[in-house]
Structure 1
Amino acid sequence: MKKFLVLYFCFSLLFVSCEKDDVEPEKPDRTEYNYDVLGLGEIATGLWVTPPSGYQTSEEYKRIKECGLNFVNGFHYFENSHSKILKVLDYCEENDLKFFANKASVASGIVNYSKSPDVSLLNKFINEIEPYANHPAFAGELMIDEPGKNLFEAVSAFTKAFDEAYPDKMWHVNLFPTYATGGIQASSYNEYINNWLMTVPSKHISYDSYPLLSTGEIIDDYFYNLDIIRSKSRFRKIPFWTFIQTLSIAGTPGVPDKREPSEADIRWQVWSNLAFGAKGIQYFCYWSPGNGTEQFGEALIGLSGEKTVRYDYVKKINSDINAIGKILLNCHAEGVIQTSVKDYKMYERLNDFGEIRSITGDDNIMGCFENEDGEKKVLITTLTPDKDASVILHLSDKVSEVKVWNNGGSEKQLVSGNQIVFQIDAGEAVFVEF
């Protein structure tokens, strides 16, 4: 489970018993959608764990931008006063980055409100934003990380107050993954997500799931988690954001240890998240967090401020997804076709799509997309980050030519014998437009 980090990196959650409420949320009465909630014109790419106080300089934020990131999740342990928030906002403006302020008082206020609703807590929350509310780099407020269902009513009160006071800004909350069975405070993950959507006026969903096990395998529920979030966000016509594991994690209670990611591991996570329809990618972590209750490896930046090899891995994949991401940002994620010997659980399994009659070959997953003009597109990546895949798409007679993207470049490719074959290296992907 994400961001247990060290004890002082955690938000305190109030756990109470709750009754099952597994009702599907009502579909919003609207046809419009906005997957680009930050107004960036590209996939939102952000980070968790900012440079610590001794490294808060414009040069450090320039290095964030050079890594291909475009927004920053604040970290209240480092930006813990109005003056520090304003300083970082200046650094972000200088380097064309958006910033979510993050204050410990907001998370504690939500917890306190859940115990005893008090309008003064809402007023305090709103008033504390005023000193930096009009800063050009201020994207909005990162309110709380991984709330259980028992906090949803309180979160809703805070988000509604925020929307009323700052309608042109965005609030941000990150939710639990499926394997956080003790944290969700609900009888099932489906109930947890449904109740969130029914209770909180969400313009996006964000959650985290770290799949890279120290055994060399991936977690069994990784695709299920992606698919249920894809389905719920598609139903609502809102985007979802996810997190990418950039370091090893050991000692998380009740969770298997996670390995240090290779370049293929990181690339595969990004491609698989995009294949399921993610419109935002966040990296956990950017700056190495150090150790406490849990033990963490080094992230993109080491504890002493030096780049690790993973900085360059992330810089490259952020560059490689940019052109494809701009296309996907205007497409609906209709589902994912899984072709594999080992069957990973999915929420809503898709078997065919458009003019694709069948898929054969090695293990892979294929994300299926459609834009508002009805044009079909697919993003294909390997099922796991450790094996190459030869993938054959069997097509109808209507398809004679496709446009194929490999990272940032594209070319037209003729279809022969109603099929087209792709050789995909481990952790890589191809994007096909029909």
Structure 2
Amino acid sequence: MQPAAAQERISASGDIPILAWYGIPAGQTSLARYEELKASGITYQFTNFPDAEAMAKALDIARKAGIKMIVACPELKTDTRNTVRRFMHHPAVAGYFLRDEPGKKDFPDLAEWAKKIQSVDKAHFCYLNLLPTYGAGALGTSTYREYVHTFIKTVPLQLLSFDHYPVVGDSLRWDWYDNLEVFSDEARKAGKPFWAFALTVSHGPYPIPTVAELKLQVFSDLAYGAQGIQYFTYWTPTGTQWDFHHGPITPEGKRSEIYDRIRTMNKEIKSLSGVFLGAKVVSVSHTGDSIPYGTKRLTTLPAPIKTLETKGKGAVVSVLKNGQNTFLVVVNRDFRQPMELTIHCDGGVKKVLKDGSLVPANAYLPTLEVDPGDMAVYQWTTP
């Protein structure tokens, strides 16, 4: 019997956006730096610029490198309409930054600001990050769901974003998956896409990120329906209360090992854009002896999947619909140990390889090992 060959590949309408949060500082603006950013697989950049002139210079450089930019400079607040008119036709502009991690008391002013920008430019998005569940003291609401729901009702943004850094020491925050549950559900109800984060710089209790930790964060985000991936940070910050270190680019402008780790991560994201970009979440559930707070246990499987069992800490099990394709995504929740996955499925089910190739699932053993933080993806066609 000849080994099965990958004869098909998933098609995509584009690539999942990948954003560098605190990307290249204004003082480091050069074509070489932006080409280095692009070579890592990052396609969007956000940095606060000191003035509109520095912003304009960076936009011109970004256009040459093929990077999209989120406009962030003081004039966007002090002279909103004229600043938007200045930049709105620039081919490197992706959107406009408002602020980071607002509480409920900030929502009315943010709504007014967003509407002012949108009165001039409806083609580009307004952007900010909402707080995570563990920012409870700053929410201004009694529950996290109320916080997200109130923001969506009050501030008319085209896309939603939140940050949550789950790997602390050698364990996961207890509320991370609850955060994903609530945020993805509220975004879905509002009919708006959302972007989510992975932590790429060590500080405080947060360790130097391994490939497995990056994969767990990114693949869990995508399994919950995220339409963009963001890295905090690209350039390692200085002059803060936090002891930031081991970002992809050091304060001195040298690459750390994290640069190569995100480059590896980004290749997989790009190759699998046909799975996740534009996908709609059908269901997300979990396996394991115990499942994370706020989540649902896996009880039913889509018809083409006959059995699914995991050994280890458990998995995220997501069903996504993307055009005529349905995908089953199984993410190993353990970023330290491999997980044994046993799956039996119909003959029409295919396994999606990390380069986007499709191979009949029955070409593989029914029981496979999934690396720490990694995922297995299966596909079938739905009329």
Which residue in 2 is equivalent to 1:366? 317
Identical-residue share of aligned pairs (%) = 25
SS for the counterpart of 2:133 is coil
1:367 deviates by 1.7
1:104 deviates by 4.2
Which residue in 2 is equivalent to 1:89? 59
SS for the counterpart of 2:119 is helix
1:265 deviates by 1.1
Cα distance in 2 for residues equivalent to 1:40 and 1:171? 23
Residue identity in the other structure for 1:365? V
Which residue in 2 is equivalent to 1:229? 183
- Does residue 61 in structure 1 map to residue 34 in structure 2? yes
- Does residue 328 in structure 1 map to residue 264 in structure 2? no
Picking from 268, 272, 277, the partner of 2:220 is 272
- The C-alpha deviation readout for 1:365-411, integer Å capped at 9, x for no partner, is 122101344x321111211211111112344xxx2132212311423
Call closer, same or farther: CA 1:347–1:366 in 2, change over 3 Å: closer
Which residue in 2 is equivalent to 1:155? 110
Residue identity in the other structure for 1:423? E
Picking from 371, 378, 383, the partner of 1:432 is 378
Cα distance in 1 for residues equivalent to 2:191 and 2:14? 17
1:274 deviates by 1.1
SS for the counterpart of 1:342 is coil
Cα distance in 1 for residues equivalent to 2:367 and 2:360? 10
Moved more, 347-356 or 49-58: 347-356
Contact 2:41 2:263 in 1 (8 A): yes
SS for the counterpart of 2:138 is coil
Contact 2:125 2:157 in 1 (8 A): no
Picking from 285, 288, 293, the partner of 1:337 is 285
Segments of structure 1 that go 5 or more residues without pairing to the other structure are 1-38, 110-120, 251-256
Residue identity in the other structure for 1:103? C
Cα distance in 1 for residues equivalent to 2:258 and 2:338? 21
Call closer, same or farther: CA 1:217–1:167 in 2, change over 3 Å: same
Residue identity in the other structure for 1:90? D
1:53 deviates by 3.7
- Does residue 411 in structure 1 map to residue 358 in structure 2? yes
Moved more, 195-204 or 272-281: 195-204
Which residue in 2 is equivalent to 1:5? none
SS for the counterpart of 2:113 is helix
Q: Residues 382-421 of structure 1 correspond to what in structure 2 (within 5 A)?
A: 382-395=332-345, 399-415=346-362, 420-421=366-367
Call closer, same or farther: CA 1:403–1:152 in 2, change over 3 Å: same
SS for the counterpart of 1:296 is coil
Segments of structure 2 that go 5 or more residues without pairing to the other structure are 1-11
Cα distance in 2 for residues equivalent to 1:40 and 1:401? 24
- The C-alpha deviation readout for 1:205-245, integer Å capped at 9, x for no partner, is 1000001112x001111111112112122222321101110
Cα distance in 2 for residues equivalent to 1:219 and 1:432? 28
* Backbone CA RMSD of aligned residues: 2.1
Cα distance in 1 for residues equivalent to 2:378 and 2:13? 24
- The C-alpha deviation readout for 1:85-124, integer Å capped at 9, x for no partner, is 0110011100111100112465xx5xxxxxxxxxxx6xx3
- Does residue 285 in structure 1 map to residue 265 in structure 2? no
SS for the counterpart of 2:171 is coil
Cα distance in 2 for residues equivalent to 1:103 and 1:143? 10
- The C-alpha deviation readout for 1:300-344, integer Å capped at 9, x for no partner, is 001110001010110111111212123321210123221112321
Which residue in 1 is equivalent to 2:7? none
**Alignment length, in residue pairs?**
365
Residue identity in the other structure for 2:310? G
Call closer, same or farther: CA 1:344–1:178 in 2, change over 3 Å: same
Moved more, 197-206 or 63-72: 197-206
1:428 deviates by 1.9
Call closer, same or farther: CA 1:165–1:54 in 2, change over 3 Å: closer
Q: Residues 71-82 of structure 1 correspond to what in structure 2 (within 5 A)?
A: 71-73=44-46, 75-76=47-48, 79-82=49-52
- Does residue 193 in structure 1 map to residue 193 in structure 2? no
Cα distance in 2 for residues equivalent to 1:394 and 1:343? 23
1:42 deviates by 1.2
Cα distance in 2 for residues equivalent to 1:312 and 1:187? 42
1:357 deviates by 4.9
SS for the counterpart of 1:143 is strand
Contact 1:242 1:282 in 2 (8 A): yes
Residue identity in the other structure for 1:172? Y
- Does residue 41 in structure 1 map to residue 11 in structure 2? no
SS for the counterpart of 1:423 is strand
- Does residue 164 in structure 1 map to residue 119 in structure 2? yes
Contact 2:95 2:125 in 1 (8 A): yes
Residue identity in the other structure for 1:191? E
Contact 2:332 2:374 in 1 (8 A): yes
- The C-alpha deviation readout for 1:35-81, integer Å capped at 9, x for no partner, is xxxx98210101111223442111000001001011111x22xx211
TM-score by length of 2: 0.90
1:203 deviates by 2.0
Cα distance in 2 for residues equivalent to 1:152 and 1:380? 37
Residue identity in the other structure for 1:226? L
1:349 deviates by 5.5
SS for the counterpart of 1:407 is coil
Picking from 306, 326, 332, the partner of 1:376 is 326
